[in-house]
Amino acid sequence: MALPILNDTLKYELVIPSTKKRVEYRPYLVKEEKILLQAFETKDEKVAMKVMVETVIACTTEQINADELTTYDVEFMFSRIRAKSVGETTELAGNCKSEDCNAITDLTVDILSSEVNTDIGPSNKVSLTDDISIELRHPSYTSFMKHFDSEISESDYGMLMIEECVAAVTTPDERITEWTQQEMSAFINSMTNKQFTQVGQFLEAVPKLKKDLEWKCIKCGHENKITLEGLQDFF
């Protein structure tokens, strides 16, 4: 007689932040946890990012195109999958912000109370001149991984990501949605500093997994408040 397969029916639901699509997901299993641990042990951020999105895809029952997931989609989805896999809370060390204290308080954070707010931020349509405007989209997790390099300068990385975020260029005569990488680089390089800053503001305001955290210092009683942002703050 064959051995049974465990946990084959454990299913939960989440809503993908960028598309508002409701999907089912399952906890990751021992085989997937092993791969995650091995990736984290390498200390290579790019390897860890690749394995995280692969875990999200593997644990989502509906077929999902990884190229269509934004950075905050993956953060949110991975946090939910991890919560159902190893526990819905995480333990953090809260460093007191009082100048005369700096004591450490042990904190228990509810992962499922974290959120991604997609209702705030600048418009995705930016007018560059009286005649030319662009439509922007949030960067995909795939493009984020493709360009990630710990040694690249912040300005060069910002340039690459802005190229990825342009969805359309509108002129009085047409709405352009196709171009070569060289054409887009030339287009962005032709911007003034003010125009480039306008576009950059959209990228800087990309939603993130967040949670406001408050606690009272165990030593001095100071009321502390911080905001956790991104997976790295939670885990």
Question: What residue segments make up the domains of the chain, in order of their start?
Answer: 12-115+208-234, 125-204
Rounded CA gap, 231 and 172, in Å? Answer: 42
Per-residue pLDDT tens listing for the chain (235 residues)? 676 666 666 799 999 999 999 999 999 988 999 999 999 888 888 888 899 999 999 999 888 888 899 999 999 999 999 999 999 999 999 999 998 898 999 999 999 999 999 987 788 999 999 999 999 999 899 988 887 776 777 777 778 888 889 999 999 999 999 999 999 999 999 999 999 988 888 888 899 999 999 999 999 999 999 999 988 888 7
Rounded CA gap, 234 and 229, in Å? Answer: 8
Q: What is the pLDDT of residue 150?
A: 61
Cα-Cα-Cα-Cα dihedral sign, residues 202, 21, 146, 84: positive
Render the burial of 92-111: b for 16+ CB within 10 Å, e for the rest. bebebeeeebeeebebebeb
Q: Is residue 207 a contact partner of residue 73, using CB atoms and an 8 Å limit?
A: no
Q: What is the pLDDT of residue 44?
A: 85
Return the structure tokens found at 165.
Answer: 């975020």
Q: Is residue 165 a contact partner of residue 204, using CB atoms and an 8 Å limit?
A: no
